[in-house]
Amino acid sequence: DYVEISDASVGTFGSSDFSVLFWFKADSLGSARYLMGKSLPDFGQGWDIRLDNQVIDVVGVNGWNVNITTSAFATAGTWYHVALVGSATTVQIYVDGALAGSTGRAVGTSGAPFRIGMTTNYGGTAFPGLIDDVMMFDRALSPFEIASVIAEATGSACPVTTTTSTSTTTTTLPPLCADPTGDGLIKVTDCLYILKAAVGLLTCAPECICAPAGTLPATATDALACLKKAVGQAVTLSCPCP
Any idea what DSSP says for residue 194?
H
**From its phi and psi, is residue 53 left (phi > 0), alpha (psi between -120 and 50) or beta?**
left
pLDDT in tens, the chain (242 residues): 789 888 888 999 988 999 999 999 999 999 989 999 998 888 888 999 999 999 999 999 999 999 999 999 999 999 999 999 999 999 999 999 999 999 999 998 888 889 999 887 655 688 999 999 999 999 999 988 888 888 878 764 433 333 333 343 433 445 788 988 877 778 888 898 999 999 898 999 889 999 999 999 999 999 988 888 887 788 888 998 87
Three-state DSSP state, 211: coil
In whole angstroms, give the CA distance from residue 48 to residue 40.
9
Q: How many CA atoms lie within 13 A of 62 on its CB side?
A: 18
Three-state DSSP state, 190: helix
- Per-residue pLDDT at 235: 85
- Per-residue pLDDT at 160: 33
- Per-residue pLDDT at 66: 93
Please say whether the beta carbons of 51 and 24 come within 8 A: yes
pTM of the model: 0.65
Asked whether the CA dihedral 130, 133, 136, 141 is positive or negative, the reply is negative
Buried b (16+ CB within 10 A) or exposed e, 196-227: bbbeeebebeebbbbbbbeeeebbeebbbbbb
The secondary structure of 130-161 as a DSSP string is: EEEEEEEESS---HHHHHHHHHHHH-PPPP--
Q: Which long-range contacts (CB under 8 A, 24 or more apart) does 154-159 make?
A: 154/189, 156/181, 156/189, 156/192, 156/193, 156/196, 156/202, 157/181, 157/182, 157/183, 157/189, 158/182, 159/204, 159/205, 159/209
Domains of the chain in sequence order:
3-141 (2.60.120.200), 163-230 (no CATH)
Report the relative pairing of strands 125-126 and 3-5 from DSSP bridges.
unpaired
Number of separate helices (H) and strands (E) present in the chain: 3, 14
